[in-house]
Amino acid sequence: MSDDPRSMADESLQLLAAEASADEQVIDGALRPQLLADFVGQQVVREQLSLVLDAAKARGTAPDHILLSGPPGLGKTTLAMIVAHELNAPLRVTSGPAIQHAGDLAAVLSSLAEGEVLFLDEIHRMARPAEEMLYVAMEDFRVDVVVGKGPGATAIPLDLPPFTLVGATTRAGMLPGPLRDRFGFTGHLDFYAPAELERVLRRSAELLSLELTAEAAAEIAGRSRGTPRISNRLLRRVRDWAQVRGSGVLDLAAARAALEVYAVDERGLDRLDRSVLEALCRRFGGGPVGLSTLAVAVGEEPETVETVSEPFLVREGLLGRTPRGRIATPATWEHLGLTAPAGFVWTGAGAGGSTLTSRSGMVQDPLPDPDT
């Protein structure tokens, strides 16, 4: 294993990224529950969705449009597939980035069958003109197809059969109000508790015909960052270890050894996460330090640090974001086994996030933070 920060980060990105890699989408598919009853956790969303679907089935109509929001890897695609499966309806899958022109959307909408479920992933990344077309389609089941160009162009209204749109987004806040308002049901998915991830792991192990001990399931769940996709991915790495170096059984020793190979610690932090925290504390005295400066210090792109490492570190209370830059928290120092410099005063999370009010006696003065 190389110590080059770039390749270290690449490993991290593959193993603990919540997004699926291309080949993983196939594996994900095999492990996806098909019924709401098999979908682990997310009790509130599950119950509400079950009501929406049962009511639609009883009425014999297409259910309201459904918006699912939440971080990657928590089950939005899986739920969209479950909706179609439960309704016994065909499913069409597309995504915001694939819809760059209104015409792209018109082509999809005009070919929908009655009752079809249209899954639009990353709906916040759809082009603006398409958004407006979607409003009308969602509300009036109609699409205006523009024929011709320039002053001679005419809009021909085309009636659509009733369909159900399932939109998914990692950024609900980026959706324009009028679009959000057209969804009859909105469900927000949250990170999973370790016990729920253990259930996901047990289910996956069964589907893959693996022998997974309870201790190993707990160990993997604890390192999965609250994300089923990561649980399933770590499970496969533990399987590799158990089959190649162990007895074939996925037990605690196999789980620990495999996760050590990939440098995933007991809290689910990987090398990149630890490099960020080490740099923050050792090189910048706990901050505040700007994102770009911090990224340079760990040899990564600012965007990678911001999207891959930070959300988890902030959630774990290991990193604070302030208007002046990133700062260490008492938990950061403790996690690294370091002592905070004299004068490091942490006042906890304020209304606008974590705040650090006094840092007199810090090792170094705050850097200007143009990039936070």
Task: For residue 372, count other CB atoms closer than 10 A to its CB.
Answer: 17
| Residue 99 or 201 with smaller CB distance to ligand ADP | 201
Determine whether 77 is an active site residue: yes
Q: Catalytic residue at 229?
A: yes
User: Among 164, 170, 304, 332, which one carries the catalytic annotation?
Assistant: 170
Among 8, 52, 72, 216, indicate the residue that binds ligand ADP (CB under 6 A).
72
| 342, burial (CB in 10 Å: exposed 0-12, middle 13-18, buried 19+) | exposed
- Residue 185: which of 77, 66, 335, 89 has the closest Cα? 66
Residue span binding ligand ADP (CB under 6 A) among the ranges 39-47, 91-99, 212-220, 315-323: 39-47
- Note if 121 is an active site residue: yes
* Residue among 28, 121, 251, 369 flagged as catalytic: 121
Strands 353-354 vs 349-350: parallel, antiparallel or unpaired: antiparallel
* Contact by Cβ (8 Å): 231, 217: no
Region 171-230 residues binding ligand ADP, contact defined as CB under 6 A: 200, 228-229
DSSP-derived secondary structure letter, 280: I
Smallest separation (angstroms) from ligand ADP to the CB of 40: 4
CB of 364 to ligand ADP, least distance (A): 40
Which of 63, 73, 167, 187 binds ligand ADP (CB under 6 A)? It is 73
CA 313 to chain centre: 14
Distance CA 195, CA 140 (A): 43
**Contact between 320 and ligand ADP (CB under 6 A)?**
no
Residue sitting closest to ligand ADP (CB) = 75
Region of 2-10, 29-37, 176-184, 363-371 interacting with ligand ADP (CB under 6 A): 29-37
Non-local (6+) Cβ contacts of 197 within 8 A are: 220, 221, 224, 226, 228, 231
Q: Does 167 bind ligand ADP (CB under 6 A)?
A: no
Active site amino acids: 76-77, 121, 170, 229
